[in-house]
Structure 1
Amino acid sequence: MTDTARLPGAAGHAWQWQLRAACREADDDLFYHPPGERGAAHDAREARAKRVCARCPVREPCLAFSLRTREAYGVWGGLTEDERHAVLGPARRTPRAHARH
């Protein structure tokens, strides 16, 4: 079980949705692929993770959090990192202050 005492006090309200997440009862390894995982094993693990997300009462705030923070890894809110990247689109480049044309 997650120790919520470590969450920031002033912003604790922003994390309350995590206490109701369906993934709290699942193994973390289900949502993050191990090194070298490919093919059918990768697809099957992601499908199992997405099934947990599909029944989650806080799927929407989870997905919103992952998009807002640009979470780079794992299945969040029912989307994989590739799916979240597609939703967000390519990262915009910040122009350099000293760039010359």
Structure 2
Amino acid sequence: MNVYTESFLRPEPWTVDALCATTDAEMFFPEIGDNATAANAKKVCAACPVIAECREYAARTGQQSGIWAGVTARAIQKTERAKRERAA
């Protein structure tokens, strides 16, 4: 169970510089098969100064959907799983 405290709800500092914060958030959660919207989201990510922080956040928080740091949440999960398997 998550306990929603003020610190839990506070945005992470890096999000202030995130380019996605200045665009339509729905772009980063395209419908399945909407490759054009996904490509546009990935272009925004490619120019973002906090792409590394975004990717780390998505991996750390186990994001299940969306475009994070220019890739899908599923791709980040796959990469993280491979890292854990190599470390074991």
- TM-score strictly above 0.5: yes
* Alpha-carbon shift at residue 31 of structure 1 (Å): 0.3
Higher helix share: 2
Percent identity over the alignment is 29
What does residue 96 of structure 1 align with?
A: none
Higher strand share: 2
What does residue 70 of structure 1 align with?
A: 62
- Structure 1 runs of 4+ with >2 Å offset: none
What does residue 59 of structure 1 align with?
A: 51
Unaligned runs of 5+ in 1: 1-6, 93-101
* Alpha-carbon shift at residue 69 of structure 1 (Å): 0.9
3-state SS of 1:33 partner = coil
Aligned-partner residue type, residue 79 of structure 1: V
- TM-score, normalised to structure 1's length? 0.67
CA distance in 2, matches of 1:55, 1:69: 23
What does residue 98 of structure 1 align with?
A: none
What does residue 72 of structure 2 align with?
A: 80
Structure 2 residue 40 is matched with structure 1 residue 45? no
Unaligned runs of 5+ in 2: 1-5
From the CA coordinates, give the structure whose radius of gyration is larger.
1
CA distance in 1, matches of 2:23, 2:57: 19
Q: How many residues align?
A: 79
Aligned-partner residue type, residue 15 of structure 1: E
Aligned-partner residue type, residue 38 of structure 2: E
Q: For 1:34-84, what per-residue CA distance to the aligned partner results, in whole angstroms no more than 9, with x for missing partners? A: 3xx42xxx2111111010000001010010010011111101111112211
- TM-score, normalised to structure 2's length? 0.75
